[in-house]
Amino acid sequence: MTTLAIGHLRHVICSRLTTAEAFRLNIAEQLLKDSEIILCDDISKQMDVNEVAFVVDFLRDWAIKLNRAVIMAITPSSFDMLLMFSKCALLTAGSIVYFESTTKITQYFDSIGFPCPKFKNPCEFYVDMATHDHIFQAAAAESSARIEKLLECWEQSKPLQPTIPNTTALSIAYKPSVMAILIAFYRYSRYIFKVNTKYGARELSSLINKTFLSFSARPLHQFDVCSAPFSRIL
């Protein structure tokens, strides 16, 4: 709470918090859950520039230090704020027109014939390029043609995804880790015993029986014992 600058508000009722303080409290709650991924709505509509920069900077450092992921919808107020993110996804009507490193976005749009004018915010410019204009008929036709070109350019420029044979894909999908199963047992048992001891014992016994039946269907050497860190159990 201190790192998120809300330590001094620990005795304040939540309804009295400002929008920025309530959002930082929500982030603290997710961090306590040890979340692997944090999803954030567009916070730039509810906070000022300084508050948004503080939250983005904090989440970026958290994700880098703990190897986690933060996915945020945002309208950056400046190109410097956009560069605080590792990757940027620009969409139009549900389709991707750019999904790469933020440091490469200007180079990419320059290469396909959409250079950002001087003294204009690149963030606003690229969003405008990917936005349909339905106000006037001529503008609608022009924006549709532009967006079609953006989609076509991205399809041609994105790297080819490696194809995985069906047999390999199936073996990967159905190759659980012994350590991962032990971790799942540990976490599930903690939860069900906390809810109801008698019910938890019955459910855990049933789960163990089913799991060892599935183990008996395959040789043990097919399981990857060391694919999950033991520290995740603690």
pLDDT digits (tens, 9 = 90+) for 191-209: 655 655 555 556 555 555 5
pLDDT at position 189: 63
- Pairing state of beta strands 37-40 and 69-72? parallel
Neighbours of 76 (CB within 10 A): 23
CB 47 within 8 A of CB 23: yes
DSSP class of 2? T
CATH topology of domain 7-157: Rossmann fold (3.40.50)
Q: How many other C-beta atoms lie within 10 A of the C-beta of residue 121?
A: 16
The pTM score is 0.59
Output the six-digit token pair for 179.
């350590």
Q: Which tokens belong to 29?
A: 């709650």
Helices (H), 100-177: 105-111, 122-129, 137-157, 166-173
* Tokens coding 142: 């022009």
At 137, list the tokens.
Answer: 């008929």
Taking residues 162-178, what's their average pLDDT? 52
**pLDDT for 220:** 44
Is residue 72 packed enough to be buried (19+ CB in 10 Å), middle (13-18) or exposed (0-12)?
Answer: middle
How is residue 9 written in tokens?
A: 């508000």
Using the predicted structure, report yes or no on whether residue 82 has a pLDDT greater than 90. no
Rounded CA gap, 202 and 198, in Å? 7
Q: How far apart are CA 155 and CA 100, in angstroms?
A: 13
Distance CA 175, CA 104 (A): 37
pLDDT higher than threshold 90 for residue 151: yes
- Single out the residue of 146, 131, 135, 54 nearest to residue 91, CA to CA: 131
Tokens 């490696």: give the residue. 162
Q: What is the mean pLDDT of the chain?
A: 75
Closest CA to 149 of 130, 121, 175, 163: 130
Residues of the chain with CATH 3.40.50.300: 7-157
DSSP state of 191: H
Which residues fall within 8 angstroms of residue 26, CB to CB, at 6 or more apart?
none
Of 73-77, 79-83, 115-119, 174-178, minimum mean pLDDT range: 174-178
